[in-house]
């Protein structure tokens, strides 16, 4: 599958076809589609392209540049192209159009007539390099590139709770055990590693420092020759990642007053409040240590930018995958330390993409999983009816989570909130594949009866660049041994 998908918008396609063939032809990193008329442009799925190459002069279509830019808006970055680039006239035309299109992401300009010269090949190569770099930086395009029929493997870990006094003594070197077992015993290539929350025990900085030391060594074993290993790490926070000490300051009033005898000496006044602050809650900072940890481990600026730590990772759109990273601990505060729930205002802001066209295979990651009908408790996602339509319209087919300290795989009816425990089947329109991983570290005191530590391997079989089958294998860590779970594997067709 091509790394970059380009839509070419030019009002004289017969005259520019040779230029674009010279620019992109023979380079399988780029796939370009050239629209033939304005109607094709207006009906194109703009958001599905990595960039739009837009002619600055669309007079033959009776279309103003400002109109075209307004139609594209922020849905895809724009590269302006022209066969004749006039320093004064063209710059003025572009400046006026861009001044009206405030939301357009403008990343480059190209002069096409240079592709008509005798030395066009060296110019085309230089242009492709610049385009790939500009698009990749703007779209945060992942470097992983796979052939259309190559399967994708995800190592699914959960609930290590670094710093927890109830960690199993046998788990001190579990990262080494898992690495050796997967790479040597199973001889598997891993493409992504997901940790579905509760990375720390109490959200303390020193716990994340310990996690960084352990996890970086582990990840480098799985990706020893890959400079892009950080972008392969998928994380979400859990309830234990919330620093309740920071959240508890919502119940405290801290004020300074002046000393009557000496104005230069402020007096600190601290008093407890009966109810938590609402106007400016410190709860917002309770996940700051996790946010910094996630940014440090992955290097992805989305961790600093994402509102309430919910965001869509579209870096691997080119291999047919889209990752939804959800913060199910966003409802936790000092009065509700176990409450599960999403920030729906933040999630709604993720939904601006075009959902009327074909979408990539969606995988949601969360700490808490979808609840079945009749489930009760403060740690249940009671707001499931709000999130389910969002997942359904965005073609999310896998919901990968932790929290239960147990392994569980089933087909989940999103509307009726009922599960089907068949180990084989197919993913129908309103069905999710619900996948929970056991804890990697915690001892028997914090695990359900008869549950043991372990991890999951999720394999996505692909054909023609699309996922057509999902296989889940689960493995148990018993003392110093790793073995397949008795219920493993599970297989479902898409």
Q: What is the pLDDT of residues 111-141, one digit of tens each?
A: 888 888 888 888 888 888 888 878 876 767 7
Over 70: is that where the pLDDT of 1 sits? Answer: no
User: Which is more confident, 167 or 73?
Assistant: 167
% of the chain beyond a pLDDT of 90: 50
pLDDT of 211 over the 80 cut: yes
pLDDT on residue 27: 82
Per-residue pLDDT tens digits for 392-432: 988 899 999 999 999 999 999 999 999 999 999 999 888 99
Q: What is the DSSP letter of 202?
A: S
CB–CB of 201/211 below 8 Å? no
Nearest to 167 by CA among 196, 199, 212: 199
The pLDDT score that the predictor gives to residue 61 is 92
pLDDT in tens, 317-359: 889 999 999 999 988 887 888 889 998 887 877 755 666 667 8
Domain ranges of the chain: 4-139, 152-243+286-493, 248-280
Task: Supply the pLDDT for residue 279.
Answer: 59
Decide if 241 contacts 287 (C-beta within 8 A). Answer: yes
Q: With contact defined as beta carbons under 8 Å apart, do 351 and 390 qualify?
A: yes
Go through 455-472 and write b for each residue having 16 or more CB atoms within 10 A of its CB, e for each that does not: bbbbbbbbeebbbebbbb
pLDDT at residue 175 in the model: 96
C-alpha to C-alpha distance for 392 and 369, rounded to whole angstroms: 15
Give the whole-angstrom CA distance, residue 3 versus residue 148: 12
- Model pLDDT for residues 30-60, shown as the tens digit of each residue: 889 999 999 999 999 888 888 999 998 888 8
CA 338 to each of CA 66, 100, 245: distance values in angstroms, whole numbers, following the listed order: 51, 48, 14
The pairing of strands 453-463 and 152-157 is antiparallel
Q: Round the average pLDDT of the chain to a whole number and report it.
A: 88
Mean pLDDT along residues 230-247: 93
Mean pLDDT of 440-456: 94
Per-residue pLDDT at 441: 96
- Most confident region among 22-26, 145-149, 233-237 by mean pLDDT: 233-237
319 torsion bin: left (phi>0), alpha (psi -120 to 50), beta (else):
alpha
CATH code of the domain occupying 152-243+286-493: 3.60.21.10
Mean pLDDT of 449-473: 95
pLDDT of residue 87: 64
- pLDDT at residue 280, rounded to an integer: 57
Residue 444's nearest CA partner among 419, 479, 473 is 479
Say whether pLDDT at 68 is over 70: yes
**What pLDDT, on the 0 to 100 scale, is given for residue 442?**
96
What does each C-alpha distance from 297 to 213, 223, 288 come to in angstroms?
10, 14, 14
Distances (CA, A) of 441 to 163, 169, 219: 10, 9, 17
More confident residue, 357 or 464: 464
Report the alpha-carbon distance of residue 304 to residue 276 in Å, rounded. Answer: 26
- The model's pTM is 0.80
DSSP designation for 88 = T
Number of Cα atoms under 13 Å in the Cβ half of residue 102? 0
57 or 161: which carries more pLDDT confidence?
A: 161
Start-end of H helices in 300-457: 302-305, 344-348, 384-393
In this prediction, residue 282 carries a pLDDT of: 62
Fold of 4-139: Rossmann fold (3.40.50)
Model confidence at 267, pLDDT cuts 50, 70, 90, reads confident
Write down the pLDDT at residue 10: 92
């Amino acid at each position: 599958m091509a790394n970059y998908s380009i839509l070419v918008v030019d009002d004289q396609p017969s005259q520019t076809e040779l230029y674009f063939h010279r620019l992109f032809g023979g380079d399988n990193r780029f796939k370009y589609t050239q629209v033939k008329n304005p109607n094709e442009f207006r009906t194109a799925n703009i958001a599905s392209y990595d960039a739009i190459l837009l002619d600055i002069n669309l007079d033959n279509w009776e279309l103003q540049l400002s109109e075209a830019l307004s139609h594209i808006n922020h849905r895809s970055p724009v590269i302006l192209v022209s066969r004749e680039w006039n320093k004064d006239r063209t710059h003025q035309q572009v400046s006026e159009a861009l001044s009206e299109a405030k939301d357009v992401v403008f990343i480059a300009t190209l002069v096409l007539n240079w592709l008509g010269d005798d030395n066009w090949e060296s110019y085309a190569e230089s242009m492709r390099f610049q385009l790939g770099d500009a698009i990749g930086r703007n779209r945060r395009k992942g470097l992983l590139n796979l052939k259309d029929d190559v399967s994708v493997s995800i190592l699914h870990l959960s609930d290590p709770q670094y710093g927890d006094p109830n960690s199993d003594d046998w788990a001190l070197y579990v990262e080494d055990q898992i690495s050796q077992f997967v790479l040597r015993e199973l001889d598997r290539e891993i493409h992504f590693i997901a940790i579905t929350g509760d990375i720390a025990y109490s959200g303390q900085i020193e716990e994340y420092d310990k996690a960084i030391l352990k996890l970086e060594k582990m990840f480098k074993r799985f990706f020893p020759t890959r400079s892009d290993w950080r972008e392969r790490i998928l994380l979400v926070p859990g309830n234990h990642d919330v620093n309740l000490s920071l959240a508890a300051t919502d119940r405290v009033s801290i004020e300074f007053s002046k000393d009557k005898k000496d104005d230069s000496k402020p007096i600190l006044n601290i008093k407890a409040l009966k109810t938590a602050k609402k106007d400016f809650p410190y709860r917002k900072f309770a996940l700051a240590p996790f946010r910094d940890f996630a940014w440090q481990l992955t290097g992805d600026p989305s961790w600093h930018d994402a509102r309430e730590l919910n965001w869509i990772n579209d870096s691997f759109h080119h291999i047919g995958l889209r990752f939804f990273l959800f913060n199910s601990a966003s409802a936790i505060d000092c009065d509700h330390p176990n409450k599960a729930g999403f920030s729906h205002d933040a999630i709604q802001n993720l939904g601006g993409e075009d959902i009327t066209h074909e979408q990539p295979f969606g995988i949601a990651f969360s700490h808490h999983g979808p609840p079945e009908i009749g489930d009760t408790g403060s740690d249940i996602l009671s707001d499931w009816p709000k999130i389910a339509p969002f997942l359904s319209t965005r073609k999310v087919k896998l919901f990968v989570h932790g929290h239960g300290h147990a392994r569980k795989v089933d087909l989940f009816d999103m509307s009726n909130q009922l599960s089907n425990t068949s180990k084989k089947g197919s993913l129908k329109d309103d069905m999710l594949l619900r996948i929970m991983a056991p804890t990697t570290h915690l001892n028997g005191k914090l695990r359900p009866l008869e549950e043991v530590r372990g991890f999951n391997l999720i394999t996505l079989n692909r054909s023609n660049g699309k996922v057509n089958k999902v296989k889940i294998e689960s493995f148990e860590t018993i003392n110093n041994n790793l073995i397949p779970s008795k219920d493993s594997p599970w297989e479902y067709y898409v």
